[in-house]
């Protein structure tokens, strides 16, 4: 175990603080995971990679048997219901398929499996127990088959996001409903139609709201309070704010987690990523063209709290650097005791991966100049970041999955298939689909939310 001092920026206090775990023998971290209804996009990959590095650092500092890292799976959600209906498959089929793809993708990015990956649907009892506590304490109320959290019942609601009331109302996309007592009150439980997933509860057959799921899963696996809660900056409000409200009011503590960490937004080539701009990139699409470690290095070059611009130029440069570094790092079976103090200090300074990578460049230069231990330290430091996971032959032998694919032909076939579907020529549509599958192409159909028209994207099966 290292004796280095870890300092982390806490969104709750807006300051960088010394990290002091509640129990050094059991450091506990929870990170919001995917809602498994579709392929995860490259923006979703950022928190997965960032908190994987933090997990690795915590295991280094406290011992791997003394860290519990939980990343949840949201497998009950209205988006899941809608997508399953669009595809004509069961909700369980959709969530199993999508979760399997997500797990494969993030492992390809070099991420370790969390210690626990709880599913929301396996924690309904815990959700109901928390809701009952909230009602008993005067913090929630049942109305027309719904249960809602009463925001006015919590005097310091909004402490995490620090937004004025009018901004919070806008940010929460407040729904006007006759069963609500206050505009800001949010749903803990809601009734389910026969066609929707549902569970029996004291308030009738229904399903949980989004926010209560994470409160229940973190409580089950980490306790009423724990050390670190992480996620993207977009989750600060309302999701994390509402998690805090539920957990604090249910269990009577001043905090839910001592440290709240949030990574910045991701944009693509200087623009917000969106399907309408044609720059939407799934993790799987990126992995068809680049090794996972290339994407990982490109992600880590920017400090996690800063916005990141995802560019082809950055990917190309990351590939060039890793090609050079692999020639040296692959020669060493390094251990963590070979980490350089400067590298460790950079990571312990609020996970400054940008500075840590600058140090890798120095180590590479020193190794080329024959400086003792520089090569071994390059290997050790890179592996702490999740790099150098292959041997040199495997690294050099990798080829893009899209190599040899005639993209013009793929686009023509997809266009023909959409025309066949529009004409209700299902036999021809299926024939074209089977032809594309035989080429190694995986199709993804979805309705354009703006026009309602069916759109199809594709990627190469790995």
- Classify each residue of 52-64 as buried b or exposed e, where b means 16 or more C-beta atoms within 10 Å of its C-beta: bbbbbbbbbbbee
- Give CA separation, 78 vs 43, 70, 192, in Å: 21, 23, 11
- How far apart, in Å, are the Cα atoms of 249 and each of 89, 259, 395, 434? 39, 18, 51, 54
pLDDT at 327 over 70: yes
Instruction: Supply the mean pLDDT for the chain.
Output: 93
In the predicted structure, residue 457 carries a pLDDT above the cut 90:
no
Q: Tell me which residue of 368, 369, 377 sits closest to 332, measured CA to CA.
A: 377
- Higher pLDDT, residue 163 or 132: 132
User: Which residues neighbour 334 within 8 Å (Cβ) at sequence distance 6 or greater?
Assistant: 376, 377, 379, 380, 383
Residue 185 CA to chain centroid, in angstroms? 27
Average pLDDT over residues 216-240: 97
Q: In what order do the strands lie in the sheet with 257-263?
A: 67-71, 27-31, 226-232, 257-263
CA angle 375, 377, 378 (to 5 degrees): 65
Is-contact 138 77, C-beta < 8 A? Answer: no
More confident residue, 39 or 435: 39
Position 119 scores a pLDDT of 98
- Give 254-290 as a DSSP string: S-SEEEEEEEPPEEETTEE--TTTT---BHHHHHHHS
pLDDT value for 165: 67
Q: pLDDT value at position 78?
A: 93
pLDDT of residue 123: 98
Q: How confident is the model at residue 431 (pLDDT cuts 50, 70, 90)?
A: confident
**What are the DSSP calls for 161-224, one per residue?**
T---HHHHHHHTTPPP-TT-SSTT-EEEEEE--TTS--B--TT-SEEE-HHHHHHHHHHHHH-S
Q: Which domains can be identified in the chain, with CATH numbers?
A: 19-266 (3.40.50.620), 314-397 (1.20.120), 407-460 (no CATH)
Q: Where are the beta strands (DSSP E) in 304-362?
A: 308-310
What is the distance between the alpha carbons of residues 317 and 300, in angstroms, rounded to a whole number? 13
Preceding peptide of 174 cis, ω within 30°: no
> What is the band of 230 on the pLDDT scale with cuts at 50, 70, 90?
very high
- pLDDT at position 402: 67
Q: Is the dihedral of CA 205, 211, 217, 218 positive or negative?
A: negative
pLDDT of residue 462: 57
pLDDT on residue 343? 98
Residue 67 has pLDDT above 80, yes or no: yes
pLDDT bucket at 33, cuts 50 / 70 / 90? very high
Q: How far is CA 291 from the centre of its chain?
A: 19
Q: Is the pLDDT of residue 220 over 90?
A: yes
Of the candidate ranges 52-56, 66-70, 441-445, the one whose mean pLDDT is the lowest: 441-445
Do 55 and 383 touch, CB atoms closer than 8 A? no
Helical H segments across 113-164, by residue range: 124-136
- The C-alpha atoms of residue 246 and residue 263 are separated, in whole angstroms, by 23
Predicted confidence (pLDDT) per residue in 104-152, tens digit: 999 999 999 999 999 999 999 999 999 999 999 999 999 999 999 999 9
Q: How many CA atoms lie within 13 A of 446 on its CB side?
A: 14
């Amino acid at each position: 175990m290292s004796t280095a001092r870890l300092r982390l920026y806490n969104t709750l206090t807006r300051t960088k603080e010394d990290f002091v775990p509640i129990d050094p023998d059991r450091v506990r971290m929870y990170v919001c995971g995917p809602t498994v209804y579709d392929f995860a996009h490259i923006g979703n990959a950022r928190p997965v990679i960032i908190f994987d590095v933090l997990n690795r650092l915590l295991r280094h500092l406290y011992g791997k048997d003394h860290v519990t890292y939980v990343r949840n799976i949201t497998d009950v959600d209205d988006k899941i219901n809608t997508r399953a209906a669009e595809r004509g498959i069961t909700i369980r089929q959709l969530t199993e398929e999508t979760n399997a793809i997500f797990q494969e993708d993030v492992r390809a990015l070099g991420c370790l499996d969390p210690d626990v990956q709880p599913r929301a649907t396996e924690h309904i009892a815990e959700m109901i127990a928390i809701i009952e506590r909230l009602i008993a304490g005067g913090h929630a109320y049942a109305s027309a088959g719904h249960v809602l959290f009463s925001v006015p019942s919590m005097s310091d609601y909004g402490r995490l996001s620090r937004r004025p009331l009018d901004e919070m109302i806008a940010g929460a996309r407040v729904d006007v409903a006759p069963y609500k007592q206050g505009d800001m009150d949010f749903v803990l439980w809601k009734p389910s139609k026969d066609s929707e997933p549902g569970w029996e509860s004291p308030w009738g057959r229904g399903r949980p709201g989004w926010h209560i799921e994470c409160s229940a899963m973190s409580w089950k696996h980490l306790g009423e309070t724990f050390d670190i809660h992480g996620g993207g900056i977009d989750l600060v409000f309302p999701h994390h704010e509402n998690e805090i409200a539920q957990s604090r009011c249910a269990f009577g503590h001043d905090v839910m987690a001592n440290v709240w960490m949030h990574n910045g937004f991701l944009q693509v080539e200087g623009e917000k990523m969106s399907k309408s701009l044609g720059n939407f990139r799934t993790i799987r699409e990126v992995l068809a063209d680049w090794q996972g470690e290339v994407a990982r290095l490109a992600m880590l070059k920017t400090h996690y709290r800063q916005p990141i611009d995802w560019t082809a130029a950055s990917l190309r440069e990351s590939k060039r650097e890793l090609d050079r570094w692999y020639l040296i790092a692959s020669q060493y079976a390094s251990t963590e005791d070979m980490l350089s103090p400067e590298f460790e200090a950079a990571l312990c300074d609020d996970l400054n991966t940008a500075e840590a990578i600058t140090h890798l460049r120095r180590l590479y230069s020193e190794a080329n100049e024959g400086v003792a231990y520089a090569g071994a330290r390059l290997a050790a430091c890179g592996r702490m970041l999740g790099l150098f996971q292959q041997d040199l032959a495997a690294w050099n032998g990798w080829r893009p999955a899209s190599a040899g694919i005639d993209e013009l032909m793929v686009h023509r076939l997809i266009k023909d298939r959409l025309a066949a579907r529009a004409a209700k020529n299902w036999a021809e549509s299926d024939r074209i689909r089977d032809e594309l599958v035989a080429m190694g192409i995986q199709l993804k159909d979805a309705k354009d939310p703006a026009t309602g028209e069916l759109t199809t994207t594709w990627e190469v099966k790995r």
